[in-house]
Amino acid sequence: MRSLAQRLKTTKTSIIVLTPGSKLPDELKDEAVVIEFLHPDASELAAVLDRLTQTPGIKVNLTKLGREKLVQAAVGLTASLAQRIFGRERVMLDRPLDAVARGAAAFVAGVDFYDHIQHDYAIRHINSKTGGYEYRPLVKRGTPYPTTEPLARIAVKAAYDQQQQLGIAIFEMGEPRGPQTDHPMELVFDPSGAARVVQVTPDEQERRNYFWLNEHTPTFLHADPPAQKGEARFEVIFAIDNHKRLLITARDLQTRRLLHQDFPVVKLT
């Protein structure tokens, strides 16, 4: 990092690093400028609350005094955390101090503040013509949970004759990172701190964009008798429960036997 900073001095280019603390290594103290951002004050938190209350479909039963107490109780929180606590469906607006305290405690404990899915999810399969992987969308971000209707219904086919263990590869889709190009490049640092630009390989790019959620347990459908290549052996129906778990209901199409009923396979976020 120090070597890169020295190289960039004459290029009118800066590197911005965001950290929760302001402590710098001794080697970088002469190369860096530390800018500390304070937590939002009451007026800024009030603006966060106002934006939420103006959201279409949101009903608020909050007195002027209650609003003031709610904002004051949130002083010391970041704007994003305050927004999550203000926007929580179960926040008790008649007890604002208790609401913020409970909301902050829930955040620390890992309780979810959203009533919808935050990422996209897909099923990976092999294109029989090209032999390459393709991804079929399964859950779109913004999907409310728990679901009241099936998300999707698919048929799982055997990949070879006498196959006994079948399954589904479920992936979380990553956020796009900058402009998409045929030859993406990235800046990397070697152990000495020197920077260089290298090309990202297709395998590495896929690994970053798609996260395999059930890599260690991809097969959970047992075919008895064994399935034959190309046979549509199982019907699988997907749903999401109130704990954000992806559920499957699976039936053997040959024997008509129900293998799984609302069986959780992965946890969504």
Task: Give one DSSP letter per residue of 165-207, joined into a string.
Answer: EEE-EEEEEPPP-SS--SS-EEEEE-TTS-EEEEEPPHHHHHH
CA distance 183 to 157: 34
- Residue-wise pLDDT for 177-208, tens only, equals 445 555 566 555 555 655 566 665 666 566 56
CA distance 220 to 267: 16
pTM here is 0.53
Domain co-membership, 82 together with 180: no
Domain co-membership, 143 together with 259: yes
Domain co-membership, 245 together with 193: yes
DSSP letter at 223 equals E
Is there a domain that residue 7 lies in?
no
Q: What is the pLDDT of residue 59?
A: 57
**Residues spanned by the domain of 80:** 42-109
Structure tokens at 260: 């799984």
Is there a domain that residue 3 lies in?
no
Is there a domain that residue 224 lies in?
yes
In angstroms, the Cα distances linking 16 to 19, 26, 33, 35, 39 are 10, 18, 10, 10, 19
Domain co-membership, 166 together with 53: no
Is there a domain that residue 21 lies in?
no
Q: Where are the alpha helices (DSSP H) in the chain?
A: 2-8, 42-53, 64-74, 79-86, 96-109, 202-209
- Residue-wise pLDDT for 42-67, tens only, equals 888 888 888 777 766 555 666 777 77
Domain co-membership, 102 together with 212: no
Domain co-membership, 176 together with 222: yes
CA distance 102 to 65: 19
Q: Which residue has the higher pLDDT, 96 or 197?
A: 197
CA distance 170 to 120: 11
Task: Say how many C-beta atoms besides its own lie within 10 A of residue 211's C-beta.
Answer: 14
Task: Say how many C-beta atoms besides its own lie within 10 A of residue 223's C-beta.
Answer: 21
Domain co-membership, 131 together with 221: yes
- Residue-wise pLDDT for 7-33, tens only, equals 776 777 777 777 766 677 777 777 777
Would the pLDDT of 38 be above 80?
no
Is there a domain that residue 203 lies in?
yes
In angstroms, the Cα distances linking 26 to 8, 31, 155 are 19, 10, 60
Domain co-membership, 127 together with 255: yes
Place of tokens 């092999």: 126
Domain co-membership, 146 together with 227: yes
Domain co-membership, 201 together with 237: yes
Domain co-membership, 54 together with 105: yes
Total count of domains within the chain: 2
Domain co-membership, 103 together with 211: no
